Every structure is written in C-alpha cells, then in structure tokens.
C-alpha cells in the first residue's frame, strides 16, 4: 500500500460516513415537512433553510464533500470512488434502524446486487497513478449531455408524481438522474483537485480555484442535484433511491473520470472482468428495480401530506 493510501483511504471512509449519516438525517427531517414542490423553488428553499434537523444533516454532507475533495488529490478515481460508494451500506443499515423502512424480497436482492457491484468495482481498482489534468473540451463534451440526461431522468418522475398526489414512486429513475448530476459534480471536484495539487501557495490556490470553470460547474450541478435529490428522497424510500443514485454516480465517475484524467484501466483479465461485470450488473439491477411496483416512502410523510 502506498503512503498516500495510508491516509487517503481512511479519509475517503470518513468522507463517505459523514456524507451518508447526514443524508439519513436529512431524510428523517424531510418526513416531517410538507411535500416539496419544485415548481415553487422559493418555498422549497425556505422549508429546507428553516429546518434545523435538515440543516444539521446538510452540514455533515458538506463536511463529507470537503473530505472527498482533499482525498481526490492523493488517490486515483478508481481507488477513491468505490470507497466513497461503500457508504451505501451504512445508508441501508440506518434506513432500517432509524427510518424504519422495509424492503420486499425482490428489492432486497437488487440492493444486495448493488453491493456486489460496488465490491467488484473496488476489487478491479489497480492504478496508483493519480490523474490531475483533463482536456477542457473533452470535459465539456462529457458534462453537458450528462447534465441534460440527468435533469430529464430526475425531474420527469417527480413532476409526474406531483400530478398524482396520492401515488408513490420507486425513485429508480430519479436516482439515476441525480446520480448522473452528482457524477458531473464529482468530475468538477476532480478538476479542482488538480488546481490544489498544482499550486504551492494559498494565494495561488485561491486564484486558481476562483478562475476555474469547474468551481461554477460544481456549484451549479450540486445546487440542481441537491434540490432534485431532496424532492426524490422525500417521495421515495431511501433504501432504494440512495443505492441507485450512489451506484449510478460511482459507475459514471469511474468510467468518465478514468478516461478523462488518463488513469489506467485494469490490465489483468481478472480485474478487467470484475470491472465490466460490476458495470453490467449495475445496469441489470436498474432495469429490475424500475419494474418493481412502488410503495409509500414513509407513513409519517403520508400523514404530513394528508
């Protein structure tokens, strides 16, 4: 294990723990709010900003993102992202213990398959070379269509759900959409990590970050993804929506980040097979979950809506 891994991997674990505990706290706070209507953004933002419980969870998530930015400067994408995505296991445990959510047998198998996907991706990671620079043109060519597809996938089910107030949603497609948007944000973070590594002085870092388009891509994609994520999290079960969003973001980031930042793909047939199998299995899980009949997100939320 490299010297960077000694500090980088524990920091990645800290990042994913803070992020996912914060997420569960947000979900618990959301069940006590009126249904979020994204057509009234002012009201949505006010509801979130005035909830102390939600703000506490949000602060933990921000701390996790800050740790993620740092760890991406010392570890390659293929090593960091599976560690970050492993936090989905913590979400599943807390969704059962704290949120009292239950999974049907078919759903439990799908979620278990997601865990297998993440393990396969982690075992396929071999590169110790950290990529820090990518072509701006290539980054734009990947990010722009990803944002468009992510918006359509995430927002479509939410607006359809609003037209049928008594209905519930699986959260699968919104999970795919928000996963893509968070994947774009992760690419922007990776781009910013190159600036952190390329400057020796605090002044140089500040100027470099403020002048980088990645800062504003990060801010915009995170803001949009967060609003869509919160609305979908409220309307669906965290134990389904969160793993789907996490595995989508993980697969997307590993594929695009490894290519854009010129990090090596596995050369061993076994490890390459694990990566391909993990990605293929993730796709099959998405198809299977999308065919599941939706269930209410939570009894508390149903009471609030009534």
**Residue 304 pLDDT:** 42
Question: 128: pLDDT confidence band, cut at 50, 70 and 90?
Answer: low
Which of 52-61, 154-163, 220-229, 286-295 is predicted with the least confidence, judged by mean pLDDT? 286-295
Q: What are phi and psi of 199, to 5 degrees?
A: -120, 140
Write out pLDDT tens, residues 215-231: 898 889 988 998 999 99
**Residue 82 pLDDT:** 67
Write out pLDDT tens, residues 131-188: 667 788 999 999 999 999 999 999 888 877 766 655 567 788 899 999 999 999 988 8
The answer to whether the CB of 21 falls within 8 A of the CB of 58 is no
Nearest one of 225, 286, 227, 276 to 254, comparing CA atoms: 276
- Does residue 7 register a pLDDT over 70? no
- Does residue 261 register a pLDDT over 90? no
Nearest one of 134, 245, 233 to 191, comparing CA atoms: 134
**Residue 305 pLDDT:** 45
Which of 42-51, 62-71, 147-156 is predicted with the least confidence, judged by mean pLDDT? 62-71
The answer to whether the CB of 84 falls within 8 A of the CB of 250 is yes
63 burial level (CB within 10 Å; 0-12, 13-18, 19+): middle
């Amino acid at each position: 294990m490299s010297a960077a891994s000694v500090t980088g991997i524990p920091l990645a674990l800290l990042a994913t723990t803070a992020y996912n505990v914060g997420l569960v706290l947000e979900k618990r706070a959301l069940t006590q709010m009126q249904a979020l209507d994204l057509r009234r953004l002012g009201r949505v933002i006010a509801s979130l900003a005035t909830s102390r419980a939600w703000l506490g969870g949000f602060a933990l998530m921000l701390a996790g993102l800050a740790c993620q930015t740092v760890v991406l400067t010392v570890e390659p994408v293929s090593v960091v992202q599976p560690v970050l995505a492993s936090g989905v296991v913590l979400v599943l445990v807390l969704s059962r213990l704290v949120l009292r959510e239950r999974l049907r047998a078919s759903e439990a198998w799908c979620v278990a398959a997601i865990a297998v996907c993440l393990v396969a991706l982690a075992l396929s990671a071999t590169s110790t070379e950290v990529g820090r620079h990518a072509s701006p043109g290539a980054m734009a060519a990947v990010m722009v269509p990803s944002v468009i597809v992510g918006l359509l996938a995430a927002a479509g089910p939410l607006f359809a759900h609003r037209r049928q107030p008594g209905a519930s949603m699986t959260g699968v497609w919104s999970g795919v959409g928000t996963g893509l948007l968070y994947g774009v944000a992760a690419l922007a973070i990776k781009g910013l990590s190159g600036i952190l590594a390329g400057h020796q002085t605090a002044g140089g870092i500040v100027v470099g970050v403020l002048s980088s388009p990645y800062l504003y891509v990060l801010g915009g994609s995170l803001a949009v993804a967060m609003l869509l994520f919160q609305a979908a999290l409220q309307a669906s079960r965290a134990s389904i929506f969160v793993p789907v969003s996490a595995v989508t973001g993980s697969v997307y980031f590993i594929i695009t980040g490894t290519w854009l930042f010129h990090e090596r793909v596995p050369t061993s047939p076994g490890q390459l097979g694990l990566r391909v199998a993990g990605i293929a299995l993730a796709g099959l899980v998405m198809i299977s979950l999308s065919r599941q009949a939706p269930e209410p997100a939570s009894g508390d939320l149903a009471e609030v809506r009534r």
